Structure 1
Amino acid sequence: MKIVAPKSFTLEGGSKAVLLLHGFTGSTKDVKRLGKHLQDRGYTVHAPMYKGHGGSPEELLQTGPEDWWNDVVAGYNHLKDQGYEDIAVVGISLGAVFSLRVGEEFPVKGVVSMCAPIKRENTDGLFDRLYDYAKIYKSFEGKTREQIIAELESLKATPKGSLNDIQKITEETCEDLHEITAPTLVMQGALDAPIYQESAPFIYEQVDAEEKDIIWYKESGHIITTGKERDKVCEDVTDFLDQIDWSIAN
């Protein structure tokens, strides 16, 4: 069965724009509900789909975080080109790392970081996520158990330099968190893995924003935008954005 890959989407709302970023092995499906909620609250939302994502794990490994970061920058510039001067950035997981980096390098009205692995010190766990994604993807393709096992074994032998590059871009972003001065919201699932739980308070402490907050979700794991408390996540993000003084010059 051929799987139709998710695509980038733009939801037109008001003059305030939000760049919405998904995570590693994820897709724009993970943030679509939040995007629609933001649109309903009067925001224009653009969510770029990173190169290599949404397709096979083999295709994903042929790309890397430099490609994905370029997609993020292109998404920011897309909003600028459409005439949106006031932009906030919201991301989850690796998308949260990217949202922090956007806050470090570009003028933004606000930054929302959801479950960012900013304290990751090695690539442990990254291949596990890719491997789990591969099992699900190949199952949806309708492949036999024997085919899936053989392709997973082949995947283990595939060069994984992009995983090292993820670690590098995460470390670089971590070093410059003090550059973030825009209002910042850190959101974290309390049932998430330790690396993410350790990262949340670290991000909160390191950003140099005068207006910042951290929210924990007691019943949520990693992808909080699709988890049990997804409706509260949507409300908290929009409430944060609503409270920003968008009239202040970047």
Structure 2
Amino acid sequence: MSTGVLFLHGFSGGPYEVQPLADFIKARTDWTLSIPTFSGHGAAEELAMKGYKAEHWMMEAEIAYRNLKKKVDEVIVVGFSMGGVIAMYLAIRYRVKKLVLLSAAAKYVSPPQLLKDIRVMAEDFMRHELADNELFARYKFKFKHVPLSATKEFTRVVQKTAPYMKNITCPTFIVQGRLDGIVPFSTAAYLENLLQSTDKRVYVSKHGKHHICYSDDCEKWFQEVFIFLKEI
């Protein structure tokens, strides 16, 4: 049985968000990997999101799934952030062998963590070190390059998928960073309780933030996800 893995990146991001895990799997298998870029997304300097809607991104994921399914017998779907929500959308509509949800944005914006991040940025500002704050650079860029209309479409992706998440039954591995300032930490438990899969596993990265594939402990959970995917 041949296996394919479809990786779906997050809102206003690109394949780089899931590339470390894709590289890890590619180095250890002969599986066929697919990492599409949603319309308007890509590397930071390539963002051009105005005019694109939730339906564009969801349909592009469906097309990517169908194209991959033509080449392999079984498809695994890995989704990060908004891509995690779209991964669940695919698992509702299509046959998905296994599902991996990375910082899946079933809920979004964690006020407590966001306040902590803002406090750190304020401290850096007082020390005249704000230019060196990576988090500030990311927020500043997205405020300038991500239109409000696109953000509204992101929320529509969640709204269109949320009522049907409870119907997901395929084996699922959930990875969540405890210090995620975008997706509340409670989302992992919420999904674990909501999904109807009989095989559900959760990995909590103690110091992981939103971009979980770049967490300090990523090699550890990469291995746990890999074992989960290889199990028959």
* TM-score band, normalised by shorter chain: 0.7 to 0.9
SS of equivalent residue, structure 2 residue 104: coil
Match of 1:103?
91
The C-alpha deviation readout for 1:166-214, integer Å capped at 9, x for no partner, is 2122023221112111101111011112743121111110111111111
Shift of the alpha carbon at 1:120? 3.7
Match of 2:22?
35
Say if 2:41 and 2:47, in contact at 8 Å, map to a contact too.
no
Shift of the alpha carbon at 1:227? 2.1
Partners of 1:194 and 1:91 lie apart in 2 by 15
In the alignment, which of 11, 15, 27 is matched to residue 2 of structure 2?
15
1:200 pairs with 2:191: no
Match of 2:164?
176
1:69 pairs with 2:49: no
Partners of 1:161 and 1:136 lie apart in 2 by 16
In the alignment, which of 85, 101, 111 is matched to residue 73 of structure 2?
85
Q: Give 1:1-250 correspondences, 5 Å limit.
A: 15-42=2-29, 43-54=31-42, 56=45, 59-82=48-71, 84-120=72-108, 133=138, 135-136=140-141, 152=144, 160-193=148-181, 195-243=183-231, 245=232
Shift of the alpha carbon at 1:65? 2.4
Runs of 5+ unmatched residues, structure 2: 115-135
Question: How many residues are aligned here?
Answer: 207
Partners of 1:88 and 1:49 lie apart in 2 by 17
Shift of the alpha carbon at 1:162? 2.7
Partners of 1:58 and 1:240 lie apart in 2 by 34
Runs of 5+ unmatched residues, structure 1: 1-13, 126-130, 138-150, 246-250
Partners of 2:5 and 2:47 lie apart in 1 by 31
Partners of 1:194 and 1:47 lie apart in 2 by 23
Shift of the alpha carbon at 1:69? 1.5
User: RMSD over aligned Cα, in angstroms?
Assistant: 2.8
Give the alignment's TM-score, normalised by structure 1: 0.74
Say if 1:17 and 1:45, in contact at 8 Å, map to a contact too.
yes
The C-alpha deviation readout for 1:41-76, integer Å capped at 9, x for no partner, is 212211111111126576122323222212211210
Give the alignment's TM-score, normalised by structure 2: 0.79
- Partner amino acid, structure 2, of 1:65: A
Match of 1:144?
none
Say if 1:57 and 1:133, in contact at 8 Å, map to a contact too.
no
SS of equivalent residue, structure 2 residue 189: helix
Identity of aligned residues (%): 25
Query: Compared with structure 1, are the counterparts of its residues 194 and 162 closer, same or farther at alpha carbon in structure 2 (3 Å cutoff)?
Result: closer
Partners of 1:165 and 1:59 lie apart in 2 by 14
Moved more, 90-99 or 73-82: 73-82
- Partner amino acid, structure 1, of 2:181: A
SS of equivalent residue, structure 2 residue 89: helix
Moved more, 112-121 or 177-186: 112-121
The C-alpha deviation readout for 1:67-121, integer Å capped at 9, x for no partner, is 2212211210111222x12001011111111111111111010111111121249
Say if 1:120 and 1:170, in contact at 8 Å, map to a contact too.
no
